[in-house]
Structure 1
């Protein structure tokens, strides 16, 4: 005749976390049978409830918290011990709560989430406070965290690649005692559509990729070899085109145009690799970059503005071919990295996959 009222969005929220491979544990100070009766109505959290009073040793508690999902009669110290046991088992633990009895566990958890209407001590130790008191807000929190972490990694790959090839070109020019192939304005336009604008758009785009450890290693595995490839092929192109001595202004601009074509093709292909897995707008971003550079090299007005001379067909052909070689080597680097280090090699996002987690929709309230 009596029934505990469950929030209408609780089931959808728990289903979302289940689909994201998040193990949900319900721990409460209430009677274990009462807690089990409430959770069983959701159909998501399963298993017989455990009375925490029977978990009188650390070993029993650690084993139970791994195997079971619902716990009743849990003391504040036991909540803290459960968090520690899960962390010792290699789990990343998020804890939600609103009472003073949750403070110890919230403080020790990797991510403490407090309700806005909860105790002030709970809000003080939590890393996130849900001002609307809705547990269903957490999927959007997850989406924001994934967007920030995933997009920072994409942008870091672009900037590391540019840093590596810029430093290598400067070093190689010094070692070979040749003039630097580019004018300052050439470096500027190189950064427009390979780094600046794409990095801005990619940093703000939705991203639902799961966060993974090893951020620095993953960035180094792609950005470092890609930068070396772009720098090496660009410098070889320069040596092939450079006539030696003190060439006239026209020849200097022709050599710069051919060398810059190699650099731009290779660097833009790094963008195409970093933008994966593709969606239509990411393909459009890469295509726009190539189209913009094609117009810069083709239009007479932009040639004069950016000090480019593309009239020497042989030099331009050499630069384009070397650029395609750089793109092929960058592509090979991406596939080798995926095979050697087990990184996901996904070219296209599934058509039905959302950019961000879908916010759980509350069910119609059931009659009491």
Structure 2
């Protein structure tokens, strides 16, 4: 039926509907904003924390933002030294070379000493979930932690524990503490303090160099955890693992450049922070779950596991200077509540009924 042949009332209704549709079409549509974020780390994507950032953090943030469809993040992923090396993430994010970074605090020495409580208390816990949650609680309770990152123009989102417990991986056979005498062992930094009392020599460096250093004889082995030993194929060059259960420690912090953070919409900040905590818990769970499987993988690749006797493990713990009290005193001197942080951490471990070998804060 043509418009002319329609009854007048029907014709007027049709014209009104058409005008309404045209009016709706002319209304402004709320535009989705696209936010460019470059995330950096010097380690390769096969590293556990980067793998889970790619597989979990990024898609989960994207999924939650898509619910309102107001904002979208275009991720530029720069891993494996594309922009910064492992020991350059802190400075890279500070300078804006990356908007977001996964900082390996363990290799930063005094710069990140405020976060070294787990390193200062070895032989206390093998529970990565408990450690990571406790460190985040401390970041909320003790201002010095977030202020430290603010001094590097960064916002602290969360810490991560990516290892169930440190073990010793060596080229020569090591079954006892005596077998470690004279050996050169690679480590992240603070953990090198564990070696002198057993006669070994610590060599500082990032995880990515341990394989080549051991292969070429620069070192005789490394302080590592089973998942990393399996991932980086350490059984090929260090086929002996001394199971000493030195402990779980926090080694990573997810940060955002403070200038970038200040410009982000509140919705994006909220989602990024919420997913950061879930990412923290996921990493801790994976680290715990993969511990035993990684030992089996290490053995399958040719590695042999030697268990340190309980008596020698106790001997090692007691042979160490009181690293925790030294750590706390250094922070106290700078007005950073070191003794209070140490007590808080150890109380959390005691409340969690951990197999504490030495009561570091009470000696």
TM-score greater than 0.5 by the shorter chain: no
Higher strand share: 2
TM-score, normalised with respect to structure 2? 0.28
Name which one, 1 or 2, has greater alpha-carbon Rg.
Answer: 1
More helix as a share of residues: 1
**Greater relative contact order: 1 or 2 (C-alpha under 8 angstroms, separation 6 or more)?**
2
TM-score of the two chains, using structure 1 as the length reference: 0.28
